Amino acid sequence: MQFKASLDALSKGITLAITLLTFVLIIFILIVLKNDRILILLPVGILSLTLAGTFLFSPQAYEITNDHIEISRKINIFRIPRAEIISIEKLSEEDMGRAWRMMGNGGMFGYTGWFRSAKQGKMRWFVTQRKNYISIVLADQRKYILSPDDPTGFMQAIQW
């Protein structure tokens, strides 16, 4: 069974702002900086690669199969083996606490990567909105956070 992963308003705004900034810088380089293009080409290249990478690895949907919970992304599918799951629960924003990004993406096409909070500890996020949190803990204590549009339906479909 597949569950949608829609972006929240903040993520849409960050994505739009960074995308527009990238295009404005590219146009600025091509039109204004005819002789000194090399000076700004590197930062724009890094920004463009970051934009492409966050798009390709952003969660598009979550699917529950017999063997895995699959996080569909543009470039590949990340699988969480169901046999290794020791707990799965719906979390409120209060349960999450204030999360700090350790290494990841904080809003461009979603919130992905490694985060930490005092209440939940270290966790890997495949989140598209800052609500509807589902926590999945594996036997080796790895923790994943997902945010399906329908968290109640997701919990029912997983039959935990």
Name all domains of the chain by residue range, CATH numbers in brackets.
1-160 (2.30.29.30)
- Tokens (6 digits) for 84: 């290794």
* Helical (H) or strand (E) element with 93: helix 93-96
Would you call 160 exposed, middle or buried from its count of C-beta atoms within 10 A (0-12, 13-18, 19+)? Answer: exposed
Mean pLDDT, the chain, whole residue set = 89
- Tokens (6 digits) for 16: 């739009």
Locate tokens 């700004």: which residue? 40
pLDDT at residue 70 above 80? yes
pLDDT at residue 66 above 80? yes
pLDDT at residue 156 above 70? yes
pLDDT digits over 3-52, tens only?
A: 999 999 999 999 999 889 888 877 877 777 666 667 667 777 888 898 89
Question: What mean pLDDT is predicted for residues 60-71?
Answer: 95
pLDDT at residue 160 above 60? no
Does residue 56 contact residue 109 with C-beta atoms inside 8 Å?
A: no
Task: Tell me what pLDDT residue 22 has.
Answer: 83
Q: How far apart, in Å, are the Cα atoms of 125 and each of 30, 34, 83?
A: 37, 42, 20
Strands 121-127 and 143-146: parallel
DSSP state of 138: E
Nearest Cα residue to 140 out of 91, 96, 87 = 87
* Strand, coil or helix: 66: coil
pLDDT at residue 159 above 80? no
- Tokens (6 digits) for 18: 């960074």
Strands (E), 65-138: 68-73, 77-81, 85-91, 99-107, 110-117, 121-127, 133-138
